[in-house]
Structure 1
Amino acid sequence: MVAEDTYVARRLHLLGEWDAALAVLGPDADPELRAEIAVDRWFFQIERHEEAEKAVAALDPASPTAQLLTARMAYSRLLFRRDPRADDRAVAEAGYRAAAQSGDELQRGWAEYHWGVLLDNIDDDAAGALERYETALEIATKYDDGYFESYIVRHLAHLKEPAERIALLRRSLNLRAALGARPQTVAAQAALANDLPTDDPERAELTQTYRPAAEELHIGWLTADLN
């Protein structure tokens, strides 16, 4: 039953049904999975921060997953400017550095990617971010992990020239759509729309498509401009 609940929760998580995914998990469920879902819900909806933080606090603080999720929470507070703490920047980098030293190569790849996003979005350090993204992309490609790759190329795109940027944004969107990752697909549609020329018909079509989905999923950083 635990294995079945875990499978259902992962599928619901992929669809952006975070509340339902957490509800499916019983008391014996993997606490790391519970924390990952809770952190994703906070990141996309910008709601229930305390629940996400509590779920992360339930993990072994020395585990790579706890280090990565703690860093992501600190980064997101800075990014969204939601009660950022004085040490959030330091906590984020320390967590990513620690997670990057884990023996799990995919875990290291995710840590490198998130570290790159921190450098990119918080420090405005494009050169440092590019190095991290390229390391992460090598790992994603090695493991043929399309879901992971979709995240990397989505951010890598904005460090490239316009033609390559659009191609990478399309790849991110296509990878996510093929995997059925609904919140990520909606975010990719928005990213591509925002980078297309204002008079491009595809931009209008993408905008018309992603906005209702963003509202349904309560993706906070996409619906803020709609209200």
Structure 2
Amino acid sequence: MLADDTYIARRLHLLGEWDAALAVLGPGGDPELRAEIAVDRWFFRIEGHDEAEKAVAALDPASPTAQLLTARMAYSRLLFGRDLRPDDRAVAEAGYRAAAASSDEKQRGWAEYHWGVLLDNIDDDPDGALARYETALAIATKYGDGYFESYIIRHLAHLKEPAERIAMLRRSLHLRAALGARPQTVAAQAALAADLPETDPERAELTRTYHPAAKELHIGWLLSDA
């Protein structure tokens, strides 16, 4: 039953049904999965910060997952300007640096990716970010991980020339849609719409599509943009 509950929780997580995923997982479920779901819910909805922090605190603090999620929480506070702490920038980089030393190559790849996002979005250091993104992309490609690739190329796209940028944003969207990752698909629709010319009919169609979905899923940063 536990294995079945974990599978169901993972599928609900992919759909952006974070509350339902946590309910199915229950208090005795996989603590790392619980923490990942809670952190994603905080990131997308900008809700449930304290619950996410408690879920991460329940993990072994020396584990790569705990280090990565602790860093992601700090980065999110910086990005959203919510619940800010004086050491958030240092905590984020320290966590990513520690997770990037993991013996698990895919875990290392995710740490490199998130480190790149920190450099890109918080430090305005595109050169530093590019190196991290390219390291992460090589790992995603090696394992044929389309979900991971979709994250990397969405951010990498904005460091490319317009034609390549649009192609990468489209690929990110298609990868996410094919995998049924609903919140990520909605975010990819918004990213592609924002990069298309204002007169492009595809931009208007994407906007009509993602706004209702963002509202249904309570994706805070897309609703604030709208």
Range into which the TM-score falls when normalised by the shorter chain: over 0.9
> What is the SS of the residue equivalent to 1:61?
coil
The 2-side partners of 1:58 and 1:113 are apart by 24
Whether contact under 8 Å (1:2, 1:26) holds in the other structure is no
Query: Percent same amino acid at aligned positions?
Result: 86
> What is the SS of the residue equivalent to 1:86?
coil
Q: Deviations over 1:150-204 (max 9, x none)?
A: 0000000000000000000000000000000000000000000000000000000
The 2-side partners of 1:11 and 1:127 are apart by 36
Q: Deviations over 1:113-147 (max 9, x none)?
A: 00000000000000000000000000000000000
The 2-side partners of 1:28 and 1:212 are apart by 35
- 2:53 maps to which residue? 53
Q: Deviations over 1:198-227 (max 9, x none)?
A: 00000000000000000000000000133x
The 1-side partners of 2:197 and 2:211 are apart by 18
TM alignment of 1:126-137, pairs within 5 A? 126-137=126-137
- 1:37 maps to which residue? 37
The 2-side partners of 1:140 and 1:203 are apart by 29
The 2-side partners of 1:150 and 1:2 are apart by 30
The 2-side partners of 1:153 and 1:128 are apart by 16
The 2-side partners of 1:26 and 1:70 are apart by 22
- 1:175 maps to which residue? 175
> What is the SS of the residue equivalent to 2:170?
helix
The 1-side partners of 2:79 and 2:210 are apart by 22
1:123 aligns with 2:123: yes
Gaps of 5+ in 2: none
Deviation of 1:27 after TM superposition, in Å, equals: 2.7
> What is the SS of the residue equivalent to 1:124?
coil
- 2:207 maps to which residue? 207
The 1-side partners of 2:12 and 2:62 are apart by 28
Deviation of 1:43 after TM superposition, in Å, equals: 0.1
Q: Which amino acid aligns with 1:159?
A: L
Deviation of 1:84 after TM superposition, in Å, equals: 1.2
> What is the SS of the residue equivalent to 2:102?
coil
Deviation of 1:26 after TM superposition, in Å, equals: 2.4
TM alignment of 1:71-110, pairs within 5 A? 71-110=71-110
The 2-side partners of 1:198 and 1:57 are apart by 45
The 2-side partners of 1:142 and 1:105 are apart by 10
| Runs of 4 or more consecutive aligned structure 1 residues displaced over 4 Å after TM superposition | none
The 2-side partners of 1:206 and 1:125 are apart by 30
> What is the SS of the residue equivalent to 2:120?
helix
The 2-side partners of 1:147 and 1:158 are apart by 18
The 2-side partners of 1:143 and 1:190 are apart by 27
The 1-side partners of 2:173 and 2:44 are apart by 17
Whether contact under 8 Å (1:116, 1:129) holds in the other structure is yes
1:7 aligns with 2:4: no
The 2-side partners of 1:171 and 1:85 are apart by 36
